[in-house]
Amino acid sequence: MDLQAHFSDIRAVIAGELDVATESVVAAVAWLTDPVLLEALVKAARRGCRVQLALLDDAINRPSGAKLEQVRAAGGAVFWIPEAERGAGSLHHKFCVIDGAAVITGSYNWTRRAGRADENILVAQGDAALAQGYLAAFERLLEKYALRPAAPALDTRPIMQRLEVLRNLLLLEDFETVATQWPRLEAVRALAPIAAVLERLRVGAWAAALEQIQAVLARGLALAAWQDPALAELRLELLTLEAQIVALSSEQAELERQIEAFAHQQHVAIGEVMAECLHLRWEYWRLRAERSRAEADQTAQAEAEADQAEFQRDREAFEQAPRPATLDADQQQELKRLYREAVMRCHPDRVTEADQAAAQTIFVQVQRAYQQSDLDTLNRLHRHLTEGQPFPDPAQVWTEQDQVRGRISRLRLEVERRLAEIRALRASETYQTLAAQLDWAGYFATVRQRLEQECAALRQKIAESGHGG
């Protein structure tokens, strides 16, 4: 499973996902006016993807009619949700499911103006439960407005029994018998979790297939068999929030890692000359204040002294902190992959309450290894979490809406907290500086040259004052 949060270039991200669709695109969005996304949907339909769209039936969507007709002409379907229901939140999620496996959801509207706002999306790859949940939500939406007849209830018991047989055969490494059993699930390939299992079995990815089967058995196929629409929507929101928290945790950790790496390189490149420059600034203003007794000069001296003291504290902390490892581009990608997968297995918000304390301990270790670019330690923790599986996924079996609402309320607050922290990191002076520099070494060289020039000028001023420095 791969979860990523996006805060910029969101249109390009969505269009990129649509461009690689090969089988199906299912989307429910209130408004669809973005010409880039409309064209991507038309192209998807023309290359044979089954495109299904649920849109709000109001004037905002009218200008998109020509493109939507092209979607229809290529075999796609457009379902109009009555405008009178806008206030009911029927299209609250603004979601898209691609090839029954990839989910795009978040605050971003598929409109011309959406890119100007402070929005974000979650892209989840390989989360079968989440994908199936959104596909079921799409069907419920159409059934609610009589746009599609209600599907008959699915008896999942034979499917689960077949999966248990396959799991046991895989554990016994009886792959020959597995090959005779898995085709019996082809009749229910439309279920995203089953499709994921079948794809892994088809290519002989036995370990991955076993992991997927165990996940389905743990979660059940409840997403496909829920009877209570209200509870189903709540459980879907819960799954989405859990995925979003993992993605935001990864985004925040990456920002913090970048800031830490930049600060480290900065201290190495200019720390010595910066310390000298700050000392000379203080010395210069000290001499001026002694001579003039002016309040402005005394204030400048105090500020220079405070700057020098703050930098010294930062420098001492830097010298005591462990040095982050230097990784090449491939190692950086591997580090990110291991981190995301590890976090999905040990994030305290994705385990049972009984496991949260233990999960938090490992989560902190994972965070520390990632921030220090410690690939070896992260590999070890990843193996522990994937092979040992100390924290099995919660069963996700809820019987009362109040239970789900309580957990949703807590996770909503956690999401807002994470979003606020990410925005603060992105707005910080350090991140703004590092994000603007493609060549950090060149930037530090320029800064070092400027500081050396300032040091030379300050020495000259101090010497001219009659006080050799």
Question: Are both 303 and 410 inside the same structural domain?
Answer: yes
Q: In this predicted model, which residue has the larger pLDDT, 200 or 83?
A: 200
- Do 58 and 84 touch, CB atoms closer than 8 A? no
Decide which of 124, 152, 180 is a domain's last residue.
Answer: 152
Question: Are both 212 and 115 inside the same structural domain?
Answer: no
Question: Are both 268 and 142 inside the same structural domain?
Answer: no
Question: Are both 410 and 270 inside the same structural domain?
Answer: yes
Residue 26 in tokens: 């299912």
Catalytic residue among 92, 174, 228, 467: 92
Say if 225 falls within a structural domain.
Answer: no
Task: Give 339-397 pLDDT, tens digit per residue.
Answer: 988 988 888 887 877 888 999 999 999 999 998 889 999 999 999 888 876 776 554 44
Asked if pLDDT for residue 308 goes beyond 90, the answer is yes
Q: In this predicted model, which residue has the larger pLDDT, 122 or 211?
A: 122
Our CA angle for 306, 324, 341, nearest 5°, is 125
- Do 3 and 122 touch, CB atoms closer than 8 A? yes
Our CA angle for 7, 234, 161, nearest 5°, is 110
Question: Are both 292 and 327 inside the same structural domain?
Answer: yes
Question: Are both 112 and 168 inside the same structural domain?
Answer: no
Rounded to a whole number of angstroms, the CA Rg of the chain reads: 28
Catalytic residue among 34, 99, 297, 374: 99
Say if 451 falls within a structural domain.
Answer: no
Query: CB under 8 Å to 209, separation ≥6 — which residues?
Result: 166, 170, 197, 200, 201
Q: Length of the chain, please?
A: 469
Question: Are both 393 and 274 inside the same structural domain?
Answer: yes
Look at residue 344 in the predicted model and tell me its pLDDT.
84
Look at residue 219 in the predicted model and tell me its pLDDT.
67
Q: Is 94 assigned a catalytic role? A: yes
CATH number of residue 16's parent domain? 3.30.870.10
Say if 241 falls within a structural domain.
Answer: no
Say if 75 falls within a structural domain.
Answer: yes
Catalytic residue among 43, 93, 94, 267: 94
Decide which of 152, 185, 204 is a domain's last residue.
Answer: 152
Q: Which domain holds residue 349?
A: 251-444
Q: Facing residues of 106 across strands?
A: 121
- Do 11 and 34 touch, CB atoms closer than 8 A? yes
Q: Using the 8-state DSSP alphabet, how is residue 110 labeled?
A: B
Question: Are both 269 and 173 inside the same structural domain?
Answer: no
Task: Give 149-165 pLDDT, tens digit per residue.
Answer: 766 666 778 888 889 99
Say if 456 falls within a structural domain.
Answer: no
pTM: 0.76
Look at residue 45 in the predicted model and tell me its pLDDT.
96
Using CA atoms, how far residue 200 sits from 176, 187, 204, 353, 365, in Å, is: 15, 16, 6, 32, 31
Q: Is 99 assigned a catalytic role? A: yes
Say if 244 falls within a structural domain.
Answer: no
Residue 277 in tokens: 């420059």
Asked if pLDDT for residue 255 goes beyond 70, the answer is yes
- List the alpha helices (DSSP H) in 98-191: 128-144, 157-171, 175-181
- Packing angle between helix 206-219 and helix 128-144, nearest 10 degrees? 50
Q: Is 330 assigned a catalytic role? A: no
Asked if pLDDT for residue 205 goes beyond 70, the answer is yes
Say if 460 falls within a structural domain.
Answer: no
Question: Are both 15 and 117 inside the same structural domain?
Answer: yes
Question: Are both 213 and 89 inside the same structural domain?
Answer: no
Question: Are both 318 and 404 inside the same structural domain?
Answer: yes
Question: Are both 198 and 294 inside the same structural domain?
Answer: no
Counting the structural domains of the chain, the total is 3
- Do 41 and 76 touch, CB atoms closer than 8 A? yes
Say if 449 falls within a structural domain.
Answer: no
